[in-house]
Structure 1
């Protein structure tokens, strides 16, 4: 299992940052390649824990579908999801804390792989995963900060 962590300070209120993480349309802005998120069955936005969803993500020249589930939700402090396919699974945690300048986002992802090949590939391309993570968190920061300026 591989762990990836990332912390970033965002000059926006916690509620705005949470909304950028939680809103399916806003996710498309900061999550590179995300094409669509849809829910399997009923979706209660006030209490989504246990809700199953699917995400279509463009990777290279193809669109890959991933199964997901909301595993923790405490508005506006925490969102955690489990997402994956037959090769790997990721538990992603977004924890938000208020700061004097806005919000501190602490992200943690635990990645498990299904077989030796995906373990080796995960190890070899860990640098790429970190680069993608940095790019996504920077895009999330930019989006949240621009949303905060609009609401002022």
Structure 2
């Protein structure tokens, strides 16, 4: 299993960033443009245990998988969302988003991804991977949130 973490200060209110992560499909697509569907399958009152069917387009291929909410907290000064899914029956992936209120116009965004290979022959792919995708995603969240703040 590999894990990557990146954090960045964003000049935007915590709620603005939260809406990009936990809002509508339209908001989600601003930071994850390849997500083409995010349909609720099971919604729980506390958030944890909620399941969404998500479709992700990469080139001409569309991957479909179920995303389960593993952790969820929505307070005024700290928010967290951790989701997990299996991609192409080859990787178990978790994405963990944390938002920490610094002041009314500044938020600390932490993004952590874990990737566990499910097949022996894809383990070597993880050896070649780095945190570039995590940094690029964090930077995209920063750019979109600040442009809309």
Normalised TM-score (structure 2): 0.86
Please say if 1:114 is aligned against 2:118: yes
CA distance in 1 between counterparts of 2:121 and 2:59 reads 20
Q: Which runs of 4+ in 1 moved over 3 A?
A: none
* 1:60 corresponds to: 59
CA distance in 1 between counterparts of 2:74 and 2:125 reads 35
Q: CA deviation at 1:61?
A: 2.2
* 1:17 corresponds to: 17
Q: CA deviation at 1:72?
A: 1.0
Q: Please, which runs of 5 or more residues in structure 1 have no aligned partner? A: none
* 2:86 corresponds to: 84
* 1:8 corresponds to: 8
* 2:71 corresponds to: 72
Q: CA deviation at 1:87?
A: 0.7
For the 8 Å contact 2:95–2:111, the answer to whether it is kept is yes
Normalised TM-score (structure 1): 0.85
Q: CA deviation at 1:32?
A: 3.7
For the 8 Å contact 2:7–2:111, the answer to whether it is kept is yes
* 2:136 corresponds to: 135
CA distance in 2 between counterparts of 1:147 and 1:74 reads 23
- Greater strand proportion: 2
